[in-house]
Amino acid sequence: MEEKKNILLVDDDPDFVEAVRVIVENGGYNVRVAYDGQEGLDAVAEEKPDLIVLDVMMPNMDGHAACAKLKTDPATREIPIILLTAVADRVTTSKYSHRDMLESEAEDYMPKPVDPQELLGLIKSWLK
């Protein structure tokens, strides 16, 4: 039997985290949760995940800063990162832009709210 892959989910919205955790676990993965970028970095240091699903807009350390730190560290740069963003709905009212997504070093990104099957498809494709 194949061992389950470990996914780190980093987002500051507890309701969203719970919904996505259930989706990803039902997709056959183990899920660990963190609620901001720094907590996510700490979680990676404790137990390196196979993939990270990382929200962009969070307090303390946003997803772009956390992604940049992970991608500059030789120990973590190969971990695939999928950025989640509500920027599509908030470009005019936030400091983030679509260009930020394209210029980040994350492997992929998708808009929020997430489509469960699309998210599972992205996770599966990056873990091949």
pTM: 0.87
Give me the mean pLDDT over the 65-86 stretch: 93
Q: What is the pLDDT of residue 1?
A: 62
- The proportion of the chain whose per-residue pLDDT surpasses 70, expressed as a percent, equals 85
- Find all residues with CB under 8 Å of 59, minimum gap 6, and list them: 12, 36
At residue 87, the pLDDT reads 59
DSSP classification of residue 4? P
Mean pLDDT is lowest, of 39-43, 63-67, 93-97, 123-127, for 93-97
Query: Domains (ranges, CATH) in the chain?
Result: 6-126 (3.40.50.2300)
Average pLDDT across the chain, whole number: 87
- Structure tokens that stand for 119 in this block: 């998210």
